[in-house]
């Protein structure tokens, strides 16, 4: 009567909202989608979709098939994965979302290693400017750095990460070495726009004493590489994560300012939908991820070489 391929076909139409969209997703012609839908309706002797030139609407029976069919497909997939795991194999898909800069610099090799270990797992990595603003349910794991606002996701700490104020040596020569956060207002500044944070408000703490300044950046970008590049050219001071500037600091392309003042930390964390019952393919990636940043993260090792 109806099989998993039929259910996947209907869900493709549902997801993409049109026969043309489904055809593009399935890599077939729109006429092929129309013909297959007609054949499915004829086989079931049930009208599943009302379609006009302008819109597409699932009938009550079509909606029922999609709703229940989605559950059946997930159960079918889980059953196959469980059977394969009985033989020591990981299968299925792993969907990861991560920030652009961190993903490019640190995740590429880890995912390549994961793929070599578990070649039957299909891995999808999406690098995003603001991972937490994406549709979270679409991903098995989200990498996040910085402030974490209200979230129902489970937090797994991967590595510590500090924030530093940095400037190029040429800028320090021009403006001098600051002795307090207020002195930074005499410098040109650069802001990185990320995670919907107030990135022009910089908060400092030293032995319980707190100071906050509001910078007026002359340059800003949503790309960390761009911001760091401008800073290296002496165009302004920046506040950046240690993971991003550790290499530039070790090469003296940037200098850390006010090291005796602490900024809010921004640990690298992985976010998942559940702590217990995590799919083995996700757990295996989490294990590999933590191994790469334990006992020291790469940026901590670089800091050690500077001492």
Same domain, 241 and 178: yes
Residue 178 domain flag: yes
Q: What is the pLDDT of residues 234-269, one digit of tens each?
A: 999 999 999 999 999 999 999 999 999 999 999 999
- CATH number reported for the structural domain that contains residue 51 in this entry: 1.10.10.10
Same domain, 131 and 196: no
Q: Please indicate, yes or no, whether residues 139 and 280 belong to a single structural domain of this protein.
A: yes
- Domain assignment present for residue 263? The answer is no
**Nearest Cα to Cα of residue 217 among 190, 236, 256, 244:** 190
| pLDDT value of residue 132 | 64
In DSSP terms, which residues pair with 271 in a beta bridge? 142, 155
Which of the 8 DSSP states describes residue 150? S
pLDDT digits (tens, 9 = 90+) for 176-202: 999 999 999 999 999 998 767 788 999
Let me know whether 175 and 195 are in one domain. Answer: yes
Q: Which of 38, 71, 104 is the last residue of a domain?
A: 71
Q: Are residues 186 and 245 in the same domain?
A: yes
231 shares a domain with 168:
yes
- Does the residue 49 lie in any domain? yes
Mean pLDDT computed over 221-226: 91
End-to-end CA distance of the chain: 71
User: In whole angstroms, how far apart are CA 298 and each of 106, 161, 166, 225, 303?
Assistant: 9, 11, 19, 18, 9
The residue segments making up the domain with residue 132 are 92-160+268-305
CB 211, CB 204: distance < 8 Å: yes
Task: Tell which residue, 96, 92, 44, has the closest CA to residue 69.
Answer: 44
Question: 33 and 99 in one domain?
Answer: no
The percentage of the chain sitting over the pLDDT mark of 70, rounded to a whole number, equals 91
Q: Are residues 243 and 286 in the same domain?
A: no
Residue 124 sits in the same domain as residue 63: no
Q: Find the length of the chain.
A: 307
CATH number for the domain including 170?
A: 3.40.190.290
What pTM was computed for the model? 0.70
How many CB atoms are located within 10 Å of the residue 144 CB?
24
* Total number of domains in the chain: 3
């Amino acid at each position: 009567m109806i099989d998993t391929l039929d259910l996947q076909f209907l869900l493709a139409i549902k997801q993409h909202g049109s026969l043309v969209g489904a055809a593009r997703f399935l890599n077939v012609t729109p006429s092929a989608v129309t013909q297959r839908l007609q054949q499915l309706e004829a086989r079931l002797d049930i009208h599943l979709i009302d379609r006009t030139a302008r819109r597409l609407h699932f009938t009550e029976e079509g909606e029922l098939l999609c709703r229940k069919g989605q559950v059946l497909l997930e159960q079918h997939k889980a059953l196959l994965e469980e059977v394969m795991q009985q033989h020591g194999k990981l299968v299925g898909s792993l969907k990861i979302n991560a920030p652009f800069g961190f993903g490019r610099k640190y995740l590429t090799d880890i995912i390549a290693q994961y793929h070599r270990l578990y070649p039957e797992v299909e891995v999808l990595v999406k690098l995003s400017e603001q991972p937490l603003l994406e549709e979270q349910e679409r991903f098995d794991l989200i990498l996040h750095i910085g402030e974490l606002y209200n979230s129902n996701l489970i937090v797994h700490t991967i590595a510590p990460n500090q924030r530093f104020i940095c400037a190029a040596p040429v800028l320090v020569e021009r403006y001098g070495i600051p002795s307090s956060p207020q002195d930074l207002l005499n410098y040109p500044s650069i802001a990185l726009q990320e995670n919907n944070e107030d990135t022009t408000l910089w908060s400092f703490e030293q032995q319980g004493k707190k100071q906050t300044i509001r910078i007026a950046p002359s340059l800003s970008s949503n790309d960390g590489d761009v911001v760091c590049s401008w800073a290296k050219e002496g165009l302004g001071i920046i506040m950046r994560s240690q993971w991003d500037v550790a290499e530039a600091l070790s090469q003296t392309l940037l200098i850390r300012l006010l090291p005796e003042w602490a900024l809010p930390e921004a640990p690298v964390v992985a976010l998942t939908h559940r702590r217990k019952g995590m799919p083995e393919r996700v757990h295996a990636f989490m294990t590999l991820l933590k191994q790469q940043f334990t006992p020291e993260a790469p940026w901590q090792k670089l800091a050690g070489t500077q001492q």
